[in-house]
Structure 1
């Protein structure tokens, strides 16, 4: 059974690619205090499962914490073992999705084409990560969305930031994954907090402007 994407005031996923375990606690706390409610630590980061476990312990129940770049069912099991509830992948692997669903995880597989998007939707994905969004653009994602089940949550990831939220929001895309615009390896918790503040202000302005 599919685990639905939980309702959020701002469906924004902070992607902490490259974060180290000794940095994770402070950065995750800064993001949560700023108002972020979903955090992804990609598995090609240093000691990612340690960082995820630290993040899970820092996060309240309403904050979704998990892993990105999840490629195998073994990764899914390890993620579940450290308390992760969000499974983000760069591709559509039905076995990985099935295992994540069995472990009651929210899933966000990466898609680019109508074929991939429809396959992911049929496999019960909680949401679809259109990546790289900068290549498809709002118009490309909107065109593909026309053939998808209307209840499937759409997120734009890759090249999306506080500078172009409005372009996507105008077309009805309101969920985003935010990587280098929010966090780059070596940034301090204070720097991430400032970026999160700017990001959330820009997102809120874009959403209000589209109403």
Structure 2
């Protein structure tokens, strides 16, 4: 997809999260383990995977996941994209979208120029308003576990059109509470590496995948 406007970003994420309210975050794993965990997520039915670019060592893991996803016809996102320079790193690695921990106009503008759908992070109503004024309807709420489900519910009152991806400190035990509070998607990391949590994740995925 070549996205050049905020409306294009909205359409991209509407489609990406149309059926499964989960995203996998694979942070800090070497390439082989990243692909193994991504495959586990895809096999569960979680189609959206993010590999954070927290340091240069993460780039090979992102590239490995992108290559593995391409074999399934699935894109992989780049997370922790907090500078314009990292937008270019993500684009060069073949990322399908970018995710940021915060809201940064320069990062957003670079993503628009690169045609790379962007999911900015917010943690205040002010940032929610700034995002919507730029035409962004999908945002990442971070750190979700600190803000809590009640924050999600409250912020959607003045911003009912906000589509929220809750991220940070979520697992199979608390994910459902965030969805019930109004988050459209929950992003999970360590739960995918924990066999004890996998059966609980399946209950969040529409259809019989157990």
Residue 179 of structure 1: aligned partner: 189
Q: Runs of 5+ in structure 2 lacking a partner? A: none
Residue 28 of structure 1: aligned partner: 38
Residue 106 of structure 1: aligned partner: 117
In the alignment, does 2:199 pair up with 1:198?
yes
In the alignment, does 2:90 pair up with 1:89?
no
1:140-177: CA deviations, max 9, x gaps?
Answer: 11111222261x32111122221123322323323011
Residue 133 of structure 1: aligned partner: 144
User: Structure 1: how far apart are the matches of 2:50 and 2:155?
Assistant: 25
Contact 2:171-2:191 at 8 Å conserved across structures: yes
Change (3 A) 1:182 1:126: farther
User: Structure 2: how far apart are the matches of 1:111 and 1:12?
Assistant: 18
CA RMSD of aligned residues (A): 2.4
Could you list the structure 1 runs, at least 4 aligned residues long, displaced by more than 4 angstroms after superposition: none
Question: Match of 2:24, SS?
Answer: strand
Contact 1:14-1:39 at 8 Å conserved across structures: yes
Change (3 A) 1:160 1:97: same
User: Structure 2: how far apart are the matches of 1:86 and 1:144?
Assistant: 25
Q: Which moved more, 1:139-148 or 1:194-203?
A: 194-203
Question: Match of 2:170, SS?
Answer: coil
Contact 1:127-1:153 at 8 Å conserved across structures: yes
Residue 188 of structure 1: aligned partner: none
User: Structure 1: how far apart are the matches of 2:91 and 2:69?
Assistant: 15
Residue 88 of structure 2: aligned partner: 77
Q: CA deviation at 1:90?
A: 0.8
Aligned length: 196
User: Structure 1: how far apart are the matches of 2:36 and 2:147?
Assistant: 34
Q: Runs of 5+ in structure 1 lacking a partner? A: 184-190
In the alignment, does 2:148 pair up with 1:147?
no
Q: TM-score if structure 2 supplies the norm length?
A: 0.82
Q: CA deviation at 1:24?
A: 2.4
User: Structure 1: how far apart are the matches of 2:57 and 2:76?
Assistant: 16
